[in-house]
Structure 1
């Protein structure tokens, strides 16, 4: 997430020409005007305000229940602040080693004005931190950026000071004292020093442990969990779901109409094929019944025809000129021609050996040969 650092001498209202430090999620920090950040249109920002505009302290609270903390915090902080607590926005942080809570206070009107101006520039803020509170939490931490110094770490104080004043503050800071800065030389009275090319990057990497000022009324306004960052995406997903639901309903309606049309066509075809059925209860079952009965008759015809074909394949000297099948009786009538009566008798015997009832009748002379009607199957 991009970070927007307001300057130490930041005015009460932000304008396009207000100088800020913009640290993109990727890339170096840049000293620019606010208008340039707005033109880049980052999706979401973590706003970092200067400690010069805030007060940092610790208080002991009589309760740990979340619903009572805000009310108890106002009473506990009132004695430590010179300004009216009603005019301040109090943000509760972590619990210190001695059991007290870290607290950061800022004038409510000042913070609200900054957020209003950023929204007017089209910028979305989803988290608010204080620069000195972004230093690592271990021991005493010192960060020098040019002539400005920031003091933080595990102790209670959160301060900004002129870099030249560090020796005066060092004696009041517990060891070890860890220092960072953009200068090549280490400051005095520190236990270690790490020069940094990107001092603002050090602050940005410790946002998770720092106090987030997006609490209370500002949490509701900002969507303190970062929800505002996802609102456009959620709205798009919602629109897609609505469109998909509408498509599914329209498709279902279309298929219902198609099913009705096919059903009416099937009913008309059934009545055309089986006009004797005047009462139709279950179209599919009745149609299946007709098909099965038709299939049974066809099977009987093919079975009898197979027996005739086997007899002829054995060399019986006859010729079939006509075939008639009676489904009701289940018999097959053949009109055959042969050279003599012996050939007809041979055909009858071969069919009888296949287990079929055979009736040979209407035999007569036909030119040089004989013809007869042979009936097999059924009760022949």
Structure 2
């Protein structure tokens, strides 16, 4: 049978660095059915651990509750749906709602509502203290840390209030929570009287939880709530401590709390010992990764050399066509040729060398395995308007494909002086305007 232990530290809070053993807790142990099997109102950590040991309970799930005022409720209106993008945009979406530097705040993401994502914001330093307080307990495994007010059972269409000594915990239907001084409860009467939505609501239901002693103590404040005219106040008497109400609501899913154990405080990331059995596999993967990096670097050098050779061949052809152009280099030859092409594009197929070379180059790029086709020399006769290319290929079919492609573009293309050799064919491609 699985058990869950709900632990709530009692003020004044002990210094975690000097007197951590002086901290007292109220706690309740629930079984799988949600029934309380043990409880305590002001016990030390060692006393709780001893109780579990005496009952032979191991791997009990620990749920830590911190004061509601420690965590600020925010709403993040983020249109993204993928969790990765939501987490990236989260700090920017709530930055204006937080009074301190966003870099010093831990953000925990809740469920999505019509208004956006519910978010809990906690100071990083304080969150580290709370995480340390609830970690390392014997016989217990930390499952979650919640703001205590976030575990109040939700009142449909209104608010829930729990009287807890000098403090009053509040939670709304939208999942918003806050903790206030009980003496200031009536100050929130006007806020509570506002409907939780844009609908016209005659009355707002409010459920107040507390012991008989709490109701007697807060009788005047409750009377003022009831006399506000917009609130329908229902009192529910607690026989035991408020912690059991919170544990009951959480076990039976009557609330919408936000688990603060996310990101660097996630209970999953804290289980470093679980990597032990995987260390040999991690070592092999690391070696493979290094080898793969070496292969990729080697291939990079190889392709760079090939690219340099291609650039040299391209520049050799360009020098043959423009021997007097000394400013064009491999890095800007494409831009220079494109500029010349744009300038002469309007002149049509009979424009001259640039246009003929453009169409010839386009058909060359369309040949399967263009590396098997090589231009040995390029000559142009301005008098005849004719481009002559000595070309070599591994088969005559590729020479024919080059000629046919130019013909389909409306140009006149012929192949002459064809010589078939053992390793291919060579010939003279003559191109002129159609």
Which residue, out of 24, 47, 52, partners 1:19?
24
Which residue, out of 199, 204, 209, partners 1:180?
209
Question: Aligned pair count?
Answer: 225
The Cα of 1:33 is off from its aligned counterpart by 2.0
Matched with 2:402 is none
Which residue, out of 44, 59, 63, partners 1:33?
44
- Distance in 1 (CA, whole Å) between partners of 2:12 and 2:189 is 25
The answer to whether 1:210 aligns with 2:257 is yes
- Distance in 1 (CA, whole Å) between partners of 2:14 and 2:134 is 13
Cα deviation 1:327-359 (Å, max 9, x = unaligned): xxxxxxxxxxxxxxxxxxxxxxxxxxxxxxxxx
Cα deviation 1:35-82 (Å, max 9, x = unaligned): 322333462310111112221122211312111111111111111111
- Distance in 1 (CA, whole Å) between partners of 2:133 and 2:7 is 13
Conserved in 2, the CA contact under 8 Å of 1:125 and 1:222?
Answer: no
Which residue, out of 222, 230, 243, partners 1:200?
243
The runs of 5 or more residues in structure 1 that have no matched partner are: 236-380
Cα deviation 1:224-248 (Å, max 9, x = unaligned): xxxx7xx8xxx9xxxxxxxxxxxxx
Conserved in 2, the CA contact under 8 Å of 1:89 and 1:105?
Answer: yes
Structure number with greater Rg is 1
Conserved in 1, the CA contact under 8 Å of 2:150 and 2:175?
Answer: no
TM-score (norm 1): 0.54
**Are the structure 2 counterparts of residues 8 and 69 from structure 1 closer, same or farther at C-alpha, using a change threshold of 3 Å?**
farther
84-93 or 12-21, which deviates more: 12-21
The Cα of 1:128 is off from its aligned counterpart by 1.1
The runs of 5 or more residues in structure 2 that have no matched partner are: 31-36, 194-203, 227-232, 278-434
The answer to whether 1:108 aligns with 2:124 is yes
Which residue, out of 3, 6, 9, partners 1:3?
6
Conserved in 2, the CA contact under 8 Å of 1:62 and 1:72?
Answer: no
The Cα of 1:29 is off from its aligned counterpart by 4.1
TM-score (norm 2): 0.48
Q: How much is the aligned-residue C-alpha RMSD, in angstroms? A: 2.5
The Cα of 1:118 is off from its aligned counterpart by 3.6
The answer to whether 1:137 aligns with 2:154 is yes
Question: Pairwise mapping of residues 258-277 of structure 1 onto structure 2 (< 5 A)?
Answer: none
**Are the structure 2 counterparts of residues 221 and 58 from structure 1 closer, same or farther at C-alpha, using a change threshold of 3 Å?**
same
Cα deviation 1:122-151 (Å, max 9, x = unaligned): 353111111011112232010001221101
Matched with 2:417 is none
Cα deviation 1:187-241 (Å, max 9, x = unaligned): 2325100010222111112324311112222225467xxxx7xx8xxx9xxxxxx
**Are the structure 2 counterparts of residues 11 and 110 from structure 1 closer, same or farther at C-alpha, using a change threshold of 3 Å?**
farther
- Distance in 1 (CA, whole Å) between partners of 2:72 and 2:13 is 16
